[in-house]
């Protein structure tokens, strides 16, 4: 997927002039990490975030930079709502830890539960989902996220095992579009929708999953898709319901996601934008954590003292600056430079 942003490309020196790199500890190990690093900088429209995960190559990471520039240099589209309902996110924790995790998401009646971790068994997934269902009660909504961790046969077996817990949907049970189409075909009689995440945000063609009939809904994220406008264009063309989610962002990055969710024409599902609750620290003293099950739509200003307190080590700052320069060079081949 080529990088995209509607702003001209600011000069690298302009980005570096306000750039800050932070390293924020997590409450619980999540996605294999215990500290979330992010680069922040300020544009004419406000602060913005560039935080592709460390393992992503420069081509993929440059799409995240396009999104950061879009949010920092362009006014967001008109908002259709001022608050976004959000879900709780339950990492691959033991069942006994589930109540404490859910308590960090006050008012949330939907929970996304991580499954298919390489170091865990299906029995552990079942126990975790059972604990979430018991905590939320029969009226709560439980969705599952496997991050593409199963093959088709494993996914079919797992969905059968987890179906008694009344799943709202299963997100990315398998890795490829072809596998998603097959598992959707095999389990359609069960009435459990299949959602696509990685098959949208990490695909050369984010519309391929919709065109293949491989998903019932799409999970979209502002940074990986190149910004709010690009994500909205994908939503319009795909013609499927969407869930707006995050990539374990700081509250500044979550504000970008909230503005995307505010502009989506129809929002049928609670969004995965409550993940500031997974951070043990943030860059603002008013983080975008859930209140009564939702977050507000507004830009976030970082607190200078918190930027200092959670500044990344010097060698990591250098690593991010070098990465920014490489990704800027990638964008320079596709975007006009101011």
Full residue range of the structural domain in which residue 124 is found: 83-296
Residues 6+ apart with CB under 8 A from 35: 23, 24, 25, 26
Report whether pLDDT(109) > 70. Answer: yes
CA dihedral 91, 95, 97, 100 (to 10 degrees): 90
pLDDT at 193: 97
Report whether pLDDT(337) > 60. Answer: no
pLDDT at 150: 97
- Are residue 157 and residue 284 in the same domain, yes or no? yes
The answer to the question of residue 134 being in a domain is yes
- Are residue 225 and residue 119 in the same domain, yes or no? yes
Q: Mean of the per-residue pLDDT values for the chain? A: 94
Q: How many domains does the chain have?
A: 2
pLDDT tens readout for residues 226-267: 999 999 999 999 999 999 999 899 999 999 999 999 999 999
Residue list for the binding site: 145, 171, 197
Mean pLDDT of the region 29-52: 94
Report whether pLDDT(2) > 50. Answer: no
The answer to the question of residue 7 being in a domain is no
- Are residue 225 and residue 327 in the same domain, yes or no? no
Neighbour order of strands in the sheet with 217-221: 88-90, 110-114, 141-145, 167-171, 194-196, 217-221, 242-245
Indicate which CATH number applies to the domain containing 150.
3.20.20.120
- Are residue 26 and residue 145 in the same domain, yes or no? no
Mean pLDDT of the region 23-33: 88
Residues 6+ apart with CB under 8 A from 7: 69, 70, 73, 74, 335
The answer to the question of residue 3 being in a domain is no
- Are residue 312 and residue 269 in the same domain, yes or no? no
Mean pLDDT of the region 87-102: 96
Indicate which CATH number applies to the domain containing 53.
3.30.390.10
- Are residue 174 and residue 88 in the same domain, yes or no? yes
Alpha helices per DSSP H over 19-169:
58-73, 98-103, 122-136, 152-162
The answer to the question of residue 186 being in a domain is yes
The answer to the question of residue 2 being in a domain is no
- Are residue 39 and residue 54 in the same domain, yes or no? yes
Report whether pLDDT(3) > 70. Answer: no
pLDDT tens readout for residues 129-162: 999 999 999 999 999 999 999 999 999 999 999 9
**Percent of the chain surpassing pLDDT 70:** 97
The answer to the question of residue 88 being in a domain is yes
Residue list for the binding site for Mg(2+): 145, 171, 197
Catalytic residues, by residue number, are 114, 221
Q: Provide the pLDDT confidence category of residue 336 given band limits of 50, 70 and 90.
A: low
Which residue in the block uniquely carries the two structure tokens 């339950």? Answer: 90
- Are residue 41 and residue 87 in the same domain, yes or no? no
């Amino acid at each position: 997927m080529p990088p995209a942003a509607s702003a001209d490309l600011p000069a690298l020196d302009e980005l570096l002039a306000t750039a800050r790199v932070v390293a924020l500890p997590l409450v619980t190990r999540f996605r294999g990490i215990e500290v979330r690093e992010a680069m922040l900088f300020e544009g004419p429209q406000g602060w913005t975030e560039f935080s592709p995960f460390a393992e992503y190559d420069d081509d993929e990471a440059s799409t995240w930079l396009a999104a950061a520039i879009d949010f920092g240099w362009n006014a967001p589209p008109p908002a259709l709502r001022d608050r976004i309902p959000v879900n709780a996110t339950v990492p691959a924790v033991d069942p006994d830890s589930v109540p404490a995790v859910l308590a960090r998401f006050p008012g949330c009646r939907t929970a996304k539960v991580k499954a298919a971790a390489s170091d865990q068994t299906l029995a552990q997934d079942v126990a975790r989902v059972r604990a979430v269902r018991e905590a939320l009660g029969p009226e709560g909504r439980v969705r599952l996220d496997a991050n593409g961790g199963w093959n088709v046969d494993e996914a079919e077996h797992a969905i059968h095992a987890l179906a008694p817990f009344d799943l709202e949907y299963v997100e990315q049970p398998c890795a490829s579009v072809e596998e998603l189409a097959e598992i959707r075909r095999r389990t359609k009689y069960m009435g459990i929708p299949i959602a696509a995440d990685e098959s949208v945000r990490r695909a050369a063609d984010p519309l391929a999953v919709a065109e293949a009939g491989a998903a019932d809904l799409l999970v979209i994220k502002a940074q990986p898709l190149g910004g709010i406008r690009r994500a909205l264009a994908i939503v319009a063309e795909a013609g499927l319901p969407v869930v707006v989610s995050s990539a374990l962002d700081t509250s500044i990055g979550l504000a970008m996601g909230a503005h995307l969710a505010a502009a989506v024409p129809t929002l049928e599902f609670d969004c995965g934008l409550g993940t500031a609750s997974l951070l043990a620290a943030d860059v603002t003293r008013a983080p975008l954590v859930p209140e009564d099950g939702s977050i507000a739509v507004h830009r976030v200003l970082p607190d200078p003292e918190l930027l200092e307190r959670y500044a990344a080590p010097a060698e990591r700052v250098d690593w991010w600056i070098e990465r920014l320069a490489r990704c800027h060079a990638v964008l320079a081949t596709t975007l006009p430079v101011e």
